[in-house]
Amino acid sequence: MKYSVDKQDKYLLIQLNETKVDSTVSPQLKSDFVTLNAEGNKNIILDMSQVKYIDSSGLSAILVGNRMANDSDGVFILTGITDHVMKLIKISQLDSVLDIMPTVQEAVDAVYLNELGNDLDQENR
């Protein structure tokens, strides 16, 4: 599994350097999401601009990352989705479950907006 991680103060930006996210790489991706979450990383931006194909095991790995981020009051945002991958996400009806942004910058803005909302919720308790 090839990817790069850019750790920022409020989020991790993961750039997948794979053209296929299938059963050969999905178990490692799931495992890495679990590890990153256990290390306290609750906001993850997954840049999938190089991914041309994803199968059900790849979508399952993404759902694991999404669930872990949401359970931690964080966000899990997909960005750079290609047309073919977006078709598969829509066919699977996951476009209503996953946060998808066109660009990394929009995803970063969404992370900060979510963090601001969490801070306001904390103050109101």
Please compute the mean of the pLDDT values over residues 47-56 and round it to a whole number. Answer: 96
Q: What is residue 124's predicted lDDT score, i.e. its pLDDT?
A: 79
Q: What share of the chain is helix, strand, coil (3-state, %, to 5)?
A: 45, 20, 35
In the numeric block, which tokens belong to residue 119?
A: 């801070």
CA dist 113 and 117 (Å) reads: 6
Q: Which residue has the higher pLDDT, 117 or 81?
A: 81
Q: End-to-end alpha-carbon separation of the chain, Å? A: 42
Q: What is the pLDDT of residues 14-39, one digit of tens each?
A: 999 999 999 999 999 999 999 999 99
Say whether pTM exceeds 0.75.
yes
% of the chain with per-residue pLDDT over 70: 100
Domains by residue range for the chain, with CATH: 3-119 (3.30.750.24)
Q: What is residue 117's predicted lDDT score, i.e. its pLDDT?
A: 87
